Structure 1
Amino acid sequence: MKVLEAKNRIIDAKPFQLFTHDGRVSNYQEDLVIWSKEHLKTEALIYQFEVQETIEAEYLPDACVNLLFEIRSTGVIGKFLGISTKARKIVIEPGVLYFGIKPYTNVGLRCIEQNQSNFVDQVVALSDQFSNTEAFLDELAYTLTFQERRELLKRHRAVFLDETQRSVLAEYLSVLLCTETTALSMEKIERETGYSKRYTQRVFQKKIGVSPKLYSRIIRFQNAIKAVYFDDHSTLAKVACQLGYYDQAHLIHEFQLFTQTSPTKLLQTIQTKKVVV
């Protein structure tokens, strides 16, 4: 495997969620930080936001896990969100500051349960899967700024991350799937990694949580929604061609499978004048 080459690849895999672009969300801040110097995916996205009214938002499929902290007047609630393979409704409450980190790889996380497939589409209490979180949660309750929270999380990184815990095969393949613009066949993956399809799928599913094929589909879905949201000149046909879908109908079919709605209707769920044709 071309591990050194993979480490130097630029991964434009910043996940996209519609609710972060909703006009009812306030105090949204984010920052890309170096989370692990040892893994092939070194970065993580740290973010925070609040709302002024209760919002029932659409949480989109996401190939990353989340550590999410709800900072309330009564204390801090920590949650671990596994990879999401389907859209679901989430309720965002006023009077709560939401602060979180989205590592670009879940390899190395100090979860008590090491099989990441058990967390897919699940939300579990942070304390159920990470030990010694009390000091971090106590300090987090008294932070005043985004910068303080970011630095606190970096100081307590060892509570959540073991940089010596590696899976080069899973890491390499996740980089490959993130940086390829089109879908990869298992035959090509077998050639790239030097391992059998069956072995590769087993390792990847345990360490990442889902199969390589599903992971690739979620990444393409994320890239598609970013393209149609941010590029005013994009059409579904153009995006489908760029990302290796068979045609526009195939892209729409994938959107419907992941979200139970069309791309146009999905984007209309937030306050936007975006029109997709």
Structure 2
Amino acid sequence: MDTILNRALTQPHLTFSPQPSRYTELSGGGDTGGGIEAVWMSIADKAGVHRVLPDGRCDIILRFCATARPINSITIVVTGPTTRHYDVLLEPGMGFAGIRLRPGFLHAILGLRPMVLRDGNLVGEAAIEACAPLSELGAKANSPDDLPGRLVAFVRHRIALGHFLPPMQALRILSAFHASGGRLRVKDVARMQGISTRTVQRIVQSATGLSPKSYARILQFHRALRLLRDHRMRPSEAAFEAGYADQAHMTNALRDFGGLTSTELGDVTLVTLGD
């Protein structure tokens, strides 16, 4: 019988640094056409707290002890789309291998509606009860290096089955919100697509588990973070470029979504968001 472990042997090589101590996206893991936005790993080298920012995505995560050989205990976690930040307590050697799904693909891959997981997750047996094939992901691994390919093989196999694939119209609508950095209004997207605003609302909520307004605000929040941290813009400039009414409006978004101020971005983990 074809298994995830066998299929993983045929996957492209994923490149990453050995034993990354923080969130690292792996080269060669993305496949937007196959519903994969990014493949990532994180292994804690000390006790601490990791802040997870809302990104409107769902992830499949394998949690494990990176110091064990072989790795016999793997916990499967499926995270839903979040609208607020949360903190994860880390212990030395705690490892995570994850695959971030492109919006609209959770239903095709796991048969789950993202709305059901909004601001929540499924852990361990709860995840397997929701989607029995996930159990294969918990098989013994020789090292952390084995886990990213296992996740990619699982997702590609599930996509190949062809169940519940998102319609192209839904992907075009989501891409329109992305291209504008969340600045387009629902009525503008509806006019571009030649459909009603109610249809746009229904499609976005079905694909992401979020209302169009919430989804757009999260995209806008991430754009502001990139402008502030990576482009080193002044807060007033970043607020304008991100489409906020003013700097105070952006400041409120940073606090509401990330518990942050514009001067506290040095250690914040920003994920790559495709369209």
| Alignment partner, residue 131 of structure 2 | 130
Distance 1:27 1:246 in 2: 32
Provide TM-score, normalisation by structure 2: 0.77
Pick aligned residue for 1:101 from 99, 102, 115: 99
- The answer to whether the 8 A contact 1:131-1:159 is kept is no
The answer for the alignment partner of 1:21 in structure 2 is none
For residue 235 of structure 2, what is the aligned residue in structure 1? 236
Asked if residue 54 in structure 1 is aligned to residue 47 in structure 2, the reply is: yes
Q: Distance in 1 between matches of 2:181 and 2:22?
A: 33
- In the aligned structure 1, how far is the partner of 2:266 from the partner of 2:33? 39
- Report if the CA contact (8 A) 1:30-1:48 is conserved: yes
Aligned positions of 1:53-72 closer than 5 A? 53-72=46-65
Structure 1 residues 143, 31: closer, same or farther in 2, change over 3 A?
farther
Tell me whether 1:37 sits opposite 2:33 in the alignment: yes
Cα deviations by residue, 1:61-96 (Å, 9 ceiling, x for unpaired)? 112111111123441101011111101121122222
Q: In the alignment, residue 188 of structure 1 is paired with which amino acid?
A: D
Q: Percent identity?
A: 17
Per-residue deviation, 1:254:
1.3
Give the whole-Å Cα distance in 1 for the aligned partners of 2:257 and 2:25.
27
Corresponding position: 1:210 with 2:206: no
Query: Separation in 2 of the partners of 1:122 and 1:242?
Result: 32
Find the residue that maps to 2:204 and give its secondary structure.
helix
SS class of match (1:69) = strand
Structure 1: give runs of 5+ residues left out of the alignment: 1-23, 272-277
1:31–1:47 CA contact under 8 A, matched in 2? no
Look up the equivalent residue of 1:130 and give its one-letter code. C
Distance 1:260 1:136 in 2: 33
Q: Which runs of 5+ in 2 are unaligned?
A: 1-19, 270-275
Q: Is the 8 A contact 2:23 2:40 kept in 1?
A: no
TM (norm. structure 1) is 0.76
* Corresponding residue number in structure 1 for 2:16: none
The one-letter code matched in structure 2 to 1:150 is: P
TM-superposition CA deviations, 1:31-73 (whole Å, max 9, x none): 35343536xxx54211111112221222111121111111234
Q: Quick check: 1:67–1:101 contact (8 Å CA) kept in 2?
A: yes
In 1, are the aligned partners of 2:104 and 2:171 still within 8 Å (CA)?
Answer: no
